[in-house]
Chains A and B, each alone.
Chain A
Amino acid sequence: MTLLPYLVAGWLFLIGVYGIVVSRDLIHTVGCLSVTQSSTYVLLLAVGYRDGGTAPVYADVPKDARVVDPVVQALTLTDVVVGATVTALLLALVIQLHKRHGTVDPDQLSALKG
């Protein structure tokens, strides 16, 4: 077990947030949000990883085989579904935003202030 996957997860989260903060294009913003979310996949899978473990499908391997944690894989899968929903909805909102405001640059949107 190495530290690397945890560092990767932290890096992905921070770089995604950085992307959202400096973004000049809302589609790019939503993409960066997905990058941020992928840090959760990496972290979950790293948490459940076991050295030398195989996939937790007992049909193929002997009962006493070393397997990785199936719970985190189920969580990751759910997380992917949640992420797909959120991303789809946000992208739809961006398209609608472009239709109404004629821009996807957050710096040019100023209808909501103070």
Chain B
Amino acid sequence: MNVARLLPLVVVVPLLGAAVLAAGGRRLPRVASDSVSVAFAAVSAVLAGAALLGGAHGDPYVVEWLGGWRPGPGGQGVGIVLAGDPLSLGLAAFASLLVVAVLLYSWRYFEEPPRRGSGSFPALMLIFQAGMCGFCLTGDLFNSFVFFELMGVVAYALTGFRVEERRPVQGALAFGIVNSLGGYAMLLGIALLYARTGELGFAQTGRRLDGQHPDALVLAAFVLVAAGLLVKAAAVPFHFWLPDAHAVAPTPVSMLLSGVMVELGVFGVARLYWTVFAGPGGLPQEAVGRALVAVGVVTALLGAAMSWRQRHLKRLLAFSTVAHIGLFLIGAGLLTAEGTAGTSLYVLAHGCVKAALFACTGILLDRYASVDERELHGKARELPLTGGLFVLGGLAVCGMPPFGTSLGKAVAEEAAGHTGHWLTAVFVLASAVTGGAVLRAGLRVFAGVGTRPEEVRRRTGAAGSADHTGQRSDRSDRTEDFATDADSTGDVGTRGDEPPETGGRLRRIPVTMLAVPAVLLAAALAAGIVPQWATATADAAQFFASHEGYESVVLDGVNPRPAPGPPAHWTAVGVLLGLLSTALGVGAALLGLRRRTPSEGTERLLRLPARLQSGHIGDYVAWTVAGVALLALLTAPGTHTFG
């Protein structure tokens, strides 16, 4: 059997499952609808895995022209192609497996099924999965826009799933408007590319561009499409929607959003560059690389700093994702196979770790009805297992060997070191600060280390720590704000207004809710330990970062055999840098625990970015447009476009 035939099924099976659940979900009991959804998601994961393995034994690229509409000898045609290279197939399989994990996690999560039957949540999850898999596998510009929007629309709906509450609807709306705008920018860029080449396939467009001279139109097309994808990836200054959406989305949804969806934005930019713009008629490598690395550095540093200053655990993790997206952008922006290999490994391990951390936070939310670091001070001492997992996750975020995050980081760092040693410092700093923030929160919540909240309050007065309140003293509507609520009520026993997502407070932690983060962390560990993983990723990156290879396999059916990639393995320097960032992270966490209030200096430094995070949709959109202009400015010089 031809493995290429499996590709459409990877996308169709979850859609079919969603249809079954949408039709029959109301009548099915909870157990049945959950099992059906897990089964469909797992089948899709198995299919993607089978295509990946089939490719590993035969041809590494798996190409399927839908409906058999192959292009003619001149490469012309209207057919639509699904093209799976090892990297995109691996990413599709990973997304599917994460969906399975998340569905298992939510098995006991929404204890009371929503009013309109128990099928709607898993059905939306399955459509989300279909959108992500389709986005990974498509070889067509317009289809990638459609899958981009499909994943978007479902994600908005899932973010605002608890419509009866105040904040989720607001976060979902900001998410929806900013991401849709990004999608339309992407479509404008696609239209410009079609105007220039008359083609919509990645490979066809790329081949047409190869025969032309680059000009301002090609640049504009790249900037528009890349901006749309960077909005999804939540790169600065397109990132504002992410903390709002992640903080309010149901925990299982946050696991997916942070674990894999935003990373797909980075994947999309890299895929687009390599397949369409890497040829002689596209954009020069220096220009694109410079733009991506510059955006990545700013994203990594800003995300790390903002993550450090959060005390709302979900927002902390969301900003930590922003920081890591910056690192991924740097790795992908090096535009080498080595950088791509490191980034892919990092993305896989980071997705597992971040999902596990969100899963632990979900347990806290359902047991204590709060995810506020100060409020939960020492409360979770009774959950040693969850605490252990959370702290392990924090160490993995720091990049502690032998976690996969550390290996991926080490490989990407080494690749970045060829460009500039200061980039290595950015990697170490960003992972140490984000990991330190997670560890600080973990130690405070699960071990009760550090100053008790009453003491902090006594020292700083009712206005509270400068964390959240200082920036908005000019606002009159303070009661709206959850952080202010928690601070000004002055009673530690008062819960925040975080409603638990289960029917009632959890008394006992369901075994699925603990097993899922444990398995995810084990997977992140395995990604670092099993050497075959690293080798396979390095080879996959070699295929991925090949402009001519992609064109020839999709259009001519010639499966290329590039030389195996530079091996991705542990080096002494990588281990030492991993240990260094872990040590820095632990040090930062201990320092953060000792400090009673954030120091004046950092506070002043971060007041501006914090104020920008205003929750106002108009501001976010203004920044998005400014970001498009910025991206154009970063990419334009050196492209010789106006000559």
CB-defined A-B contacts under 8 Å, sample of 28: A17-B181, A17-B625, A20-B618, A21-B622, A37-B184, A39-B184, A39-B188, A40-B191, A43-B188, A44-B191, A44-B194, A47-B192, A78-B146, A85-B149, A90-B156, A90-B173, A93-B173, A96-B163, A109-B616, A110-B480, A110-B481, A111-B166, A111-B167, A111-B170, A112-B174, A114-B468, A114-B472, A114-B610
Q: Mark A35-69, 1 if CB is under 8 A from B, else 0.
A: 01101100110010000000000000000000000
CB distance from B467 to the nearest CB of A (A): 8
CB <8 Å contact, B166 and A101: yes
CB <8 Å contact, A107 and B616: yes
Q: Which residues of chain A are near B165, meaning CB under 8 Å?
A: 100
CB <8 Å contact, B194 and A93: no
CB distance from B468 to the nearest CB of A (A): 5
Q: Which residues of chain A are near B200, meaning CB under 8 Å?
A: 71
Q: How far is the CA of A37 from the CA of B625 in the complex (A)?
A: 15
Q: How far is the CA of A109 from the CA of B615 in the complex (A)?
A: 8
Contact of A29 among B152, B248, B310, B617 (CB under 8 A): B617
A86 interface residue (CB < 8 Å to B) = yes
Task: Known A17-B625, A111-B481; judge A22-B618 contact (CB<8 A).
Answer: yes
CB distance from B573 to the nearest CB of A (A): 38
Q: Which residues of chain A are near B372, meaning CB under 8 Å?
A: none
B483 interface residue (CB < 8 Å to A) = yes
Within 8 A of A (CB), among B590-622: 610, 613-619, 621-622
CB <8 Å contact, A82 and B142: no
CB <8 Å contact, A113 and B177: no
CB <8 Å contact, A113 and B468: yes
Interface size classification for chain A: 35 or more
Q: Which residues of chain B are near A44, meaning CB under 8 Å?
A: 187, 191, 194
Residues on A lying within 8 angstroms of B by beta carbon are 9, 13, 17, 20-23, 26, 29-30, 33, 36-37, 39-40, 43-44, 47, 71-72, 75, 78-79, 82, 85-86, 89-90, 93-94, 96-97, 100-101, 106-114
Q: How far is the CA of A44 from the CA of B200 in the complex (A)?
A: 13
CB distance from B356 to the nearest CB of A (A): 25
Task: Known A89-B176, A110-B472; judge A78-B167 contact (CB<8 A).
Answer: no
Q: How far is the CA of A40 from the CA of B167 in the complex (A)?
A: 31
Contact of A21 among B477, B483, B621 (CB under 8 A): B621
CB <8 Å contact, B244 and A40: no
Q: Which residues of chain A are near B177, meaning CB under 8 Å?
A: 20, 29-30, 33, 90
Contact of A47 among B169, B191, B471, B614 (CB under 8 A): B191
Q: How far is the CA of A3 from the CA of B230 in the complex (A)?
A: 29
Q: Which are the 4 A-B pairs with shortest beta-carbon distances?
A: A112-B615, A47-B195, A21-B618, A100-B166
B171 interface residue (CB < 8 Å to A) = yes
Within 8 A of A (CB), among B479-530: 480-483
B561 interface residue (CB < 8 Å to A) = no
CB <8 Å contact, A114 and B149: no
Q: How far is the CA of A98 from the CA of B618 in the complex (A)?
A: 18
Instruction: Give A90's nearest chain B residue, CB to CB.
Output: B176
B336 interface residue (CB < 8 Å to A) = no
Q: Which residues of chain B are near A112, meaning CB under 8 Å?
A: 167, 170-171, 174, 244, 247-248, 615
Task: Known A93-B173, A100-B169, A112-B615; judge A33-B156 contact (CB<8 A).
Answer: no
Task: Known A71-B200, A100-B166; judge A110-B477 contact (CB<8 A).
Answer: yes
CB distance from B614 to the nearest CB of A (A): 6
Q: How far is the CA of A13 from the CA of B188 in the complex (A)?
A: 10
Instruction: Give B148's nearest chain A residue, CB to CB.
Output: A82
CB distance from B68 to the nearest CB of A (A): 19
B535 interface residue (CB < 8 Å to A) = no
| Centre residue among A39, A96, A101 by max chain B CB count within 10 A | A96
Q: Mark B146-179, 1 if CB is under 8 A from A, else 0.
A: 1001001100110010011111011111101100
CB distance from A27 to the nearest CB of B (A): 11
| Centre residue among A43, A78, A109 by max chain B CB count within 10 A | A109
CB <8 Å contact, A113 and B472: yes
Q: Mark B301-312, 1 if CB is under 8 A from A, else 0.
A: 000000001100
Q: How far is the CA of A90 from the CA of B181 in the complex (A)?
A: 13
Q: Which residues of chain B are near A71, meaning CB under 8 Å?
A: 78, 194, 200
CB <8 Å contact, A111 and B480: yes
Within 8 A of A (CB), among B438-495: 467-468, 471-472, 475, 477, 480-483
Q: How far is the CA of A78 from the CA of B475 in the complex (A)?
A: 44
Instruction: Give B624's nearest chain A residue, CB to CB.
Output: A17
Q: How far is the CA of A82 from the CA of B184 in the complex (A)?
A: 10
Q: How far is the CA of A89 from the CA of B180 in the complex (A)?
A: 11
Q: How far is the CA of A40 from the CA of B228 in the complex (A)?
A: 13
In the complex, besides A13-B188, A20-B181, A110-B481, 10 extra interface pairs with C-beta distance below 8 angstroms are A40-B187, A40-B188, A43-B188, A71-B194, A82-B149, A90-B177, A101-B166, A109-B480, A111-B481, A113-B468
CB <8 Å contact, A36 and B146: no
CB <8 Å contact, A72 and B618: no
CB <8 Å contact, A36 and B184: yes
Task: Known A33-B177, A47-B194, A89-B176; judge A106-B617 contact (CB<8 A).
Answer: yes
CB <8 Å contact, B615 and A110: yes
Q: Which residues of chain B are near A39, meaning CB under 8 Å?
A: 184, 188
Q: Which residues of chain B are near A26, meaning CB under 8 Å?
A: 173, 617
Q: How far is the CA of A112 from the CA of B475 in the complex (A)?
A: 13
Instruction: Give A82's nearest chain B residue, CB to CB.
Output: B149
Q: Which residues of chain A are near B482, meaning CB under 8 Å?
A: 111
CB <8 Å contact, B156 and A89: yes
Q: Which residues of chain B are near A106, meaning CB under 8 Å?
A: 616-618
Contact of A113 among B191, B471, B617 (CB under 8 A): B471
Q: How far is the CA of A111 from the CA of B248 in the complex (A)?
A: 11
Q: Which residues of chain B are near A109, meaning CB under 8 Å?
A: 170, 480, 615-616
